[in-house]
Structure 1
């Protein structure tokens, strides 16, 4: 059964109109999809190198712990 996504909880629209999935959505999914999502709470474990290293080194990656903590 497919669950309906809730705007502001599971996703939001960025300034370009794209859907951005939240850490809460990813935690409900249960695993890294490997796409290098902005709010990945799984340390990008399924993203291929060298992209994974770049993502982990980015300033946004330092916010991942906060996203995991606040996702519930």
Structure 2
């Protein structure tokens, strides 16, 4: 899959697109808290509170400058 250059979506980096993190997700508040902490600290990501997997932050993905097309939870390029 190729790298796609596109503008950032028109929403705050702290708010994931609902198709990537549903408003009904049972861990949504904990996920958003961990993501916000990573954004505030300028970190590349955080450990998912449910699975323990490393998740890239929207800040890291935005700094990278491209969308990889892999469905990242906090992709800042997914249009509303």
TM-score by length of 1: 0.48
Structure possessing the higher relative contact order (Cα contacts under 8 Å, 6 or more residues apart): 2
The structure in which a higher percent of residues are helix is 1
